[in-house]
Amino acid sequence: MSGKGGLEGVVVADISSSLVDGENGRLIYAGYEIEDLAANSTFEEVCHLLWYGRLPKADELELLRSRIAHDAKLPDEIIAMMKALPKQAEPMAVLRTVVSALAHYDPDAEILGNKAVAMHKAIRLTGQITTACAAWDRIRKGHEPIAPRQDLALSANFVYMLSGEEPKKETVDAVDVYMILLAEHGMNASTFTARVVTGTGSDFHSAIVGAIGALKGPAHGGANAEAMRQFVEIGEVENVEPWFTKNIKNGERRIMGIGHRIYKALDPRAQILRDKAKAMAEASGNMKWFLIADNLAQLARADQYFIERKLYPNVDYYSAIVLYTIGLDIDMFTPLFAMSRIAGWSANVIEQMGGRLIRPDANYVGPMGLKWVPINER
Ligand code: ACO
């Protein structure tokens, strides 16, 4: 096997939706710097950019917003199925089940290889995944799910569907910035999974189900929840240094939310989310979680081990603080990641459609020359 494995450095596709420049800490969506989009754009605008390759005009943006809102409603049968699931079911596992089941209610589910039809599925699933996340958070707490409103953009609708109350602007803004930042990211593990499934000629929902499975892992999207659990475990600002010494310097653990396969400089999304997390902490008057995260990051930045390996906070590190500050349960963090990344998955699935089967090779390291032996002689 070449290198350290994990397909490091292997180029598997041409991609037009995003460029991750890991050496310089830059992220570009279809030509636009992520900082520019985070400061000025909306999630629907970014969806348009990723799906159609350009920013929308005002009427195009409103059309896309209203189509996503219109299609965001879940079939009654899906709500009934969700109510039948065990209340303690892990939210990403529920989302995986729901997206798989939604295929049965999509009239176009088995129309394969048609990019215009796939675009409709992308629009539908973008709304439906958000509704499913909010609905599951209510159902598991014994509340009735709330249907999406037709007049709201997706981030506002999510906040609305969690509580049924008029969404607060600061909360919606925080969710929308998060949604913009997480929407797309080169050939990450879940996007690659979606492309592999699509490369076999399989259907759109199967590709997204596969992607959700990959995102769920703690080395990928699951890290935002693990990062927050680690901050909660640290508990107080004065515990940061002893925790670092015991668990990282003298222990076997990794700091969750730090390190990245591609970024060997600061992840630009982490910088934006750090600023956001700090501003939100100051506004709320509770600096504790921000300071725990920030002090731990500073310890790592000054440590030779982290310096040598070019390990910096990734997007999951400070996003954990942002999502915790808006009051989300920790196990809902990764579903929020999926709510956003469906935009990038869809762009990649559509780009992959009609492409060649993705089928890498393997280096056989097993035995050779063995002869079959009757069972009673083994
Ligand atoms: N804490 C401590 N050490 C680390 C960390 C960390 N968070 N991350 C990597 N390292 C070390 C490894 O031990 C290894 O050291 P070695 O060379 O002495 O063996 C070296 O840095 C390289 O690590 P790899 O695991 O080979 O790097 P890889 O590119 O395969 O993994 C990954 C990247 C999975 C993100 C890793 O940095 C990690 O586990 N981070 C914590 C989990 C996390 O935050 N995941 C989210 C990633 S971003 C995203 O998906 C949205």
What digits encode the pLDDT tens for the residues 30-54? 999 999 999 999 999 999 999 999 9
User: Measured between alpha carbons, how far is 245 from 247 in angstroms, rounded to an integer?
Assistant: 6
- Do 292 and 159 lie in one domain? The reply is no
Q: How many residues does the chain have?
A: 378
- Please give the model's pTM, rounded to 2 decimal places: 0.96
Model pLDDT, residue 1: 64
Contact 268, 25 (CB under 8 A): yes
Q: For residue 8, which atom of ligand 1 is closest to its CA?
A: 29
In a domain, 359, yes or no: no
Beta partners for residue 32, in sequence order: 29
361 a catalytic residue: no
pLDDT at 310 over 80: yes
CA of 269 to the centre of ligand 1 (A): 17
Identify the DSSP state of 87.
T
143 a catalytic residue: no
Model pLDDT, residue 76: 98
Average predicted confidence (pLDDT) for the chain: 97
Q: With left for phi above 0 and alpha for psi between -120 and 50, is residue 9 left, alpha or beta?
A: left
- Do 45 and 96 lie in one domain? The reply is yes
In a domain, 2, yes or no: no
Nearest CA to ligand 1 atom 40: 259
- Do 314 and 344 lie in one domain? The reply is no
HEC letters along 276-311? HHHHHHHHHCCCHHHHHHHHHHHHHHCCHHHHHCCC
What CATH number is associated with residue 250? 1.10.230.10
Model pLDDT, residue 3: 67
pLDDT at 2 over 80: no
- Do 75 and 104 lie in one domain? The reply is yes
CA of 194 to the centre of ligand 1 (A): 23
- Do 238 and 204 lie in one domain? The reply is no
276: Cβ–Cβ under 8 A, 6 or more apart, which residues? Answer: 174, 177, 318, 322
212-222 tens-digit pLDDT: 999 999 999 99
The full DSSP string for 187-240 is T-HHHHHHHHHHHTT--HHHHHHHHHHHHTSTTTTTHHHHHHHHHHHH-SGGGH
User: Measured between alpha carbons, how far is 61 from 352 in angstroms, rounded to an integer?
Assistant: 25
Nearest CA to ligand 1 atom 2: 254
- Do 194 and 267 lie in one domain? The reply is no
Q: Is 277 exposed, middle or buried (0-12, 13-18, 19+ CB in 10 A)?
A: buried
CA of 95 to the centre of ligand 1 (A): 26
pLDDT at 189 over 90: yes
- Do 62 and 207 lie in one domain? The reply is yes
In a domain, 309, yes or no: yes
67-124 tens-digit pLDDT: 999 999 999 999 999 999 999 999 999 999 999 999 999 999 999 999 999 999 999 9
User: Measured between alpha carbons, how far is 351 from 290 in angstroms, rounded to an integer?
Assistant: 39
- Do 80 and 180 lie in one domain? The reply is yes
Model pLDDT, residue 37: 98
Nearest CA to ligand 1 atom 14: 309
- Do 209 and 249 lie in one domain? The reply is no
Q: What is the mean pLDDT of residues 126-152?
A: 98
The pairs formed by 116-124 with CB atoms below 8 angstroms and a separation of 24 or more are: 118/204, 118/346, 118/349, 118/350, 118/353, 119/51, 119/346, 119/350, 121/204, 121/205, 121/346, 122/51, 122/204, 122/342, 122/343, 122/346, 122/347, 122/349, 122/350, 123/64, 123/67, 123/68, 123/71, 124/71
- Do 154 and 79 lie in one domain? The reply is yes
232-258 tens-digit pLDDT: 999 999 999 999 999 999 999 999 999
In a domain, 231, yes or no: yes
In a domain, 7, yes or no: no
312-323 tens-digit pLDDT: 999 999 999 999
Model pLDDT, residue 157: 98
In a domain, 301, yes or no: yes
Nearest CA to ligand 1 atom 23: 259
Of the residues 176, 205, 260, 294, only one is catalytic, namely 260
Residue type, 219: A
Model pLDDT, residue 337: 98
In a domain, 367, yes or no: no
Of the residues 316, 329, 331, 361, only one is catalytic, namely 316
CA of 257 to the centre of ligand 1 (A): 9
pLDDT at 196 over 80: yes
Can you give the residue range of the structural domain that contains 47?
18-218+335-352
Nearest CA to ligand 1 atom 15: 309
322-377 tens-digit pLDDT: 999 999 999 999 999 999 999 999 999 999 999 999 999 999 999 999 999 999 99
Q: Structurally, how many domains does the chain consist of? A: 2
Q: Quick one: which of 22, 63, 68, 104 has its CA closest to 179?
A: 68
Q: What is the mean pLDDT of residues 263-285?
A: 96
- Do 120 and 24 lie in one domain? The reply is yes
Nearest CA to ligand 1 atom 13: 254
Task: Name the residue of 188, 228, 254 whose CB sits within 8 Å of the most ligand 1 atoms, as the mutation to test its pocket.
Answer: 254
- Please state, for a pLDDT cut of 90, what percent of the chain lies above it: 99
What CATH number is associated with residue 203? 1.10.580.10
Task: Name the residue of 184, 258, 334, 336 whose CB sits within 8 Å of the most ligand 1 atoms, as the mutation to test its pocket.
Answer: 258
- Do 250 and 103 lie in one domain? The reply is no
Q: What residues does ligand 1 touch, defined as CB less than 6 Å away?
A: 4, 6, 219-221, 223, 254-261, 309, 311, 314-316
In a domain, 11, yes or no: no
CA of 314 to the centre of ligand 1 (A): 10
